[in-house]
Structure 1
């Protein structure tokens, strides 16, 4: 059974992120125009180079069944719920340990790419004989990511290629609830 409270926490965080962004800049978040990478998140054109976007609840059910079958692994329900709740650009956030960016699929095509990246991550973990984790966020240091322990759903910091080394929360839902949106002046705003 999927974790509806995790979905609710993700939706609430995304609303808080958009509200904080709008308060800072008086418009929705921006992304560069890319005709080759459409998304249901695109709301409207901001100018010739930028589109406004906002997270969208995924309407058509997505699944990790193909990933699980290919690897012979059952993914923790929170991992599946996290990546099948929203389409979104990455959303910066603060937690008590620092800044991070939550990762999401931008569209159904991007969900396929995300699945491929997760397969690669799990294969690396298996090759290194490490416990299986699945990433869901990156930090401002490219060598570290935030992941979910596939066995118990706890949230950890891990150095790429290494075992997780710092526990942040007992569950993904608990971790998401602890976050606050982080709005910074992006390169995109320097153009406007």
Structure 2
């Protein structure tokens, strides 16, 4: 049986953290950008250990859905409301990618604003609503979820998705391999 997006994300995050054992995951500390992910405090700019932390309680996209009168794909919502984390680098069968994550609640608000802008652009261009969740190594290509079908697609910014990469977000995450930070 296929795992849910939450279970698949848990599995990926677990292997991401496991792969970094020894040196651990490191990030530049920023006192103006507080997060549960920091495992230490330090002077701004100094590297500290961090790790993804479960959101409790989980954040919500309800305000975005109400603002746009649009029900967002539930896997997509679960994806961004599972962890506080720095972005996660991964290798997909198609090449390197970076899974966007939210580092704190302010970051989640920023994500929501960017998502609203993205969806309004799609509406203006009379294109299928898509929900971005990842970056590729090609600047103007993003990874997105087609809102209605839940399929993961490669999308050139401002265009309709050009290639379906997986039937669901869970299936896409399942095929990823963590890449060290």
Give the distance between the partners of 1:156 and 1:183, measured in 2 at CA.
24
Q: Is the 8 A contact 1:46 1:52 kept in 2?
A: no
**Which residue, 1, 4, 26 being the options, matches 1:30?**
26
Give the distance between the partners of 1:46 and 1:164, measured in 2 at CA.
43
- Structure 1 unaligned segments of length 5 or more: list them: 185-192
Bigger share in helix: 1
The aligned counterpart of 1:188 is none
Q: Is the 8 A contact 1:168 1:175 kept in 2?
A: yes
Matches within 5 A, 1:110-125: 110-125=107-122
Matches within 5 A, 1:52-67: 52-67=49-64
The aligned counterpart of 1:19 is 18
Matches within 5 A, 1:42-121: 42-45=38-41, 49-121=46-118
User: For each residue in 1:12-46, what CA deviation from the matched residue of structure 2 results, as whole angstroms up to 9, or x when unmatched?
Assistant: 10111111122xxx222111111110101111247
**Which residue, 150, 154, 160 being the options, matches 1:153?**
150
**RMSD across aligned C-alpha pairs, in angstroms?**
1.4
Q: Which moved more, 1:48-57 or 1:60-69?
A: 48-57
Q: Is the 8 A contact 1:92 1:101 kept in 2?
A: yes
- Structure 2 unaligned segments of length 5 or more: list them: none
Query: TM-score, normalized by length of structure 2?
Result: 0.94
Give the distance between the partners of 1:106 and 1:153, measured in 2 at CA.
24
Give the distance between the partners of 2:101 and 2:66, measured in 1 at CA.
22
